[in-house]
Amino acid sequence: MYDNLLYQNVASLLSSDILNGNLPGALLFSGLHGSGKLTCALETARILSCSGEKKGHWLCSCPSCLQHKALVSNNLLLAGPKDCTPEISAASRAFLNAVMNSSSHLTAARYLFVRSVRKLTLRFSPILLEGDEKLSKIAVLMNSLDEELEPIDFPHELPDFQAVQKSVEKIIPLCEKLESEFLYDSIPVAQIRNAASWARLKSVSGKKTIIIENADRMLESVRNALLKILEEPPEDTVFILTTSRRNAVMPTILSRVRTYAFMERNLSQQKEVISRVFHNENFNGTIDDFLLTFLPVAPDKIHSFSEEFYSLIADSKIPDSARIIKDCGNFEPRIIFKIFLSGIQRRSKKLLSFPAGTVAAKEITDSLQQCWNNVSVYNQSVKSALEILVRDMSKINKLHGNILK
C-alpha cells in the first residue's frame, strides 16, 4: 500500500488502520504544501474501493483500481480550491520528453499528465455542480478538454509525437481557462450539500470517498454544512479533508475527524520526488519551487513588480496597473496574481519591526485579502481590484504618516 507516497511515515499508520478496520469515516490530512496529501488521499480512495484479492496492492488490476488510477472512478469526488496548472505544465513537459525519446518511463509519464489534468477536471463533476448557473459554460470547456485528452488517454495507442504535442498544447490553455474562470477560491456551500446528498446514496461496490482540499479556506456557511454530514457520515463513505494550516480549521470540525500529520520532506527527499515523479534530475530546490518554474512569468520577476508597486505607493505615486498586468501575462494562470500579492505582503512585514507599523501591516494584509477575494470570489477584473488596492494602500500610508517608506 501507498507505494507512490514517498518519504511519509504516515503511510504505515494509514495502512495499519485500514487493514485492522480502524479507519474512521472522516480524516484530516495536515501538512505543508508538497508533502503528498492529495496523492495520499487519492491512493486511500483507491485502496478503500479495491475489489482485488490483495486488498490495495499497488499492482492490483481489478476494475476499481484501474478506474481510480486513471481518476475516472464513480466512487470518487474531489472538491476545493487548488492551483493545478503548474503541475499540469510540469507533467506535460515530462510526458512530451518521454514521447519524443521513447523513454522507458513513458507509461508513467503518460499517467502523470492525464492524472494532473483530471485533478483539475474532477472538481467540476456534474454531481458537485448541480444547480450551478455556470454549469453550461463549464460543460463546453470540459467537452473540449475531453476531446483533446481522449487520443492520449489509456487504453488508446499513442499517436506520433507531433499529434501528442498538438493535443497537449491545446489542453494546457483550456485548463488555465477552466481554473482561472470557474474554480472557486472557497468551495461553495451548494457543492458541500450536493456532495452530502451523493454520500447518502448507497454504493454499488466498494467505499466512496469525498476529498475536500484546503479545508481551512471554507467560509462559515460551508463549514456548518460540512459539520452536519460529518456528525454521522454514511457507512460506505469516507471524507478526507486536507489542509496546510490545521490551526485555521474550525475546532468543531477538528473534533469530528482523525488527523494524520504529514512531515516536511527535506531538500534531498524533495529532489528525489521531483526526479522520480517528473523525471527531472537537474533541479535543486523544493517541489513548490520546481512547479513555479513552469509559470509563464518567473516568480522573481513577479516579485520585482510587487516591489515596484509597493515602492510607488510609499512615495505617494500611482503605479501603472495596466502595464504591470500586461508584464505579468495578464496574471494568467491565477497563481501569478497570488504570487504578486504575496510579494506585497512580504514587503509589508518590515513594518512589524516597530509598534506603529503593526497596525498598518494588519490593514495592508486585510486589503490584500480583499483584493484577492474581489478577483477570485466576486469575479472582479484584476485591473479594478488593483485600483481599489492602490486606493486602500495609499489611504493607509497617508493615515499613518507615510509609514510605508
High-pLDDT (> 70) share of the chain, %: 100
Where does residue 165 rank: exposed (0-12), middle (13-18), buried (19+ CB within 10 A)?
A: middle
53 has pLDDT over 90: no
High-pLDDT (> 90) share of the chain, %: 86
| Mean pLDDT estimate for the chain | 94
Residue 5 lies in a domain: no
- Rg value, the chain, Cα: 22
Phi first, then psi, for residue 237 (nearest 5°) are -130, 135
Over the stretch 202-227, which tens digit does the pLDDT of each residue have?
888 889 999 999 999 998 999 999 99
Range of the domain at 338: 295-399
Q: Where are the alpha helices (DSSP H) in 315-381?
A: 321-327, 335-348, 355-376
Centre a 10 Å sphere on the Cβ of residue 303 and count the other Cβ atoms it contains. 17
Are 195 and 125 found together in one domain?
Answer: yes
The predicted pLDDT at position 98 comes to: 97
Are 153 and 44 found together in one domain?
Answer: yes
The predicted pLDDT at position 58 comes to: 85
Residues in the chain, overall count: 405
339 has pLDDT over 90: yes
The predicted pLDDT at position 29 comes to: 98
Q: Which of 278, 310, 331 represents a domain boundary (last residue)?
A: 278
The cell for 173 is 490553455
45 has pLDDT over 90: yes
Are 266 and 300 found together in one domain?
Answer: no
199 has pLDDT over 90: yes
Are 220 and 100 found together in one domain?
Answer: yes
Are 270 and 382 found together in one domain?
Answer: no
Half-sphere exposure of 343 (CA within 13 A, CB side): 20
Are 257 and 382 found together in one domain?
Answer: no
27: which strand partners?
Answer: 240, 258
Provide the 8-state DSSP code for 103. -
Are 75 and 154 found together in one domain?
Answer: yes
Residue 149 lies in a domain: yes
Are 27 and 164 found together in one domain?
Answer: yes
Number of domains forming the structure of the chain: 2
Residue 287 lies in a domain: no
Tell which residue, 300, 298, 276, has the closest CA to residue 287: 276
Are 228 and 373 found together in one domain?
Answer: no
pLDDT grade, residue 300 (50/70/90)? very high
How far is residue 78's CA from residue 3's CA, in Å, rounded to a whole number? 21
For the ranges 118-122, 165-169, 234-238, 365-369, the lowest mean pLDDT is seen at: 234-238
Phi first, then psi, for residue 306 (nearest 5°) are -60, -45
Reduced to 3 states (helix: H, G, I; strand: E, B; else coil), residue 119 is helix
Give the CA distances from residue 96 to residues 101, 164, 272, in Å, rounded to whole numbers and listed in that order.
9, 8, 21
Q: At what angle do helices 161-182 and 135-149 cross, to 10 degrees?
A: 160
328 has pLDDT over 90: yes
Residue 203 lies in a domain: yes
Reduced to 3 states (helix: H, G, I; strand: E, B; else coil), residue 34 is coil
372 has pLDDT over 90: yes
Are 272 and 302 found together in one domain?
Answer: no
The predicted pLDDT at position 226 comes to: 95
How far is residue 84's CA from residue 89's CA, in Å, rounded to a whole number? 9
377 has pLDDT over 90: no
Residue 320 lies in a domain: yes
Are 265 and 383 found together in one domain?
Answer: no
Centre a 10 Å sphere on the Cβ of residue 353 and count the other Cβ atoms it contains. 9
Residue 286 lies in a domain: no
Residue 350 lies in a domain: yes
Match 460506505 to its residue by C-alpha cell.
236
One-letter amino acid of 296: P
Over the stretch 70-103, which tens digit does the pLDDT of each residue have?
999 999 999 999 999 999 999 999 999 999 999 9
- Residue pair 384/293 in contact (Cβ under 8 Å)? The answer is no
One-letter amino acid of 203: S
Q: Which of 250, 278, 306 represents a domain boundary (last residue)?
A: 278
Mean of the pLDDT values across residues 380-404?
95
Q: Which of 215, 243, 278 represents a domain boundary (last residue)?
A: 278
Instruction: Return the CATH number at 222.
Output: 3.40.50.300
Strands across the sheet with 237-243, in order?
A: 76-79, 208-212, 237-243, 26-30, 258-261
Are 259 and 332 found together in one domain?
Answer: no
Mean of the pLDDT values across residues 264-292?
94
Reduced to 3 states (helix: H, G, I; strand: E, B; else coil), residue 335 is helix
Residue 238 lies in a domain: yes
One-letter amino acid of 403: I
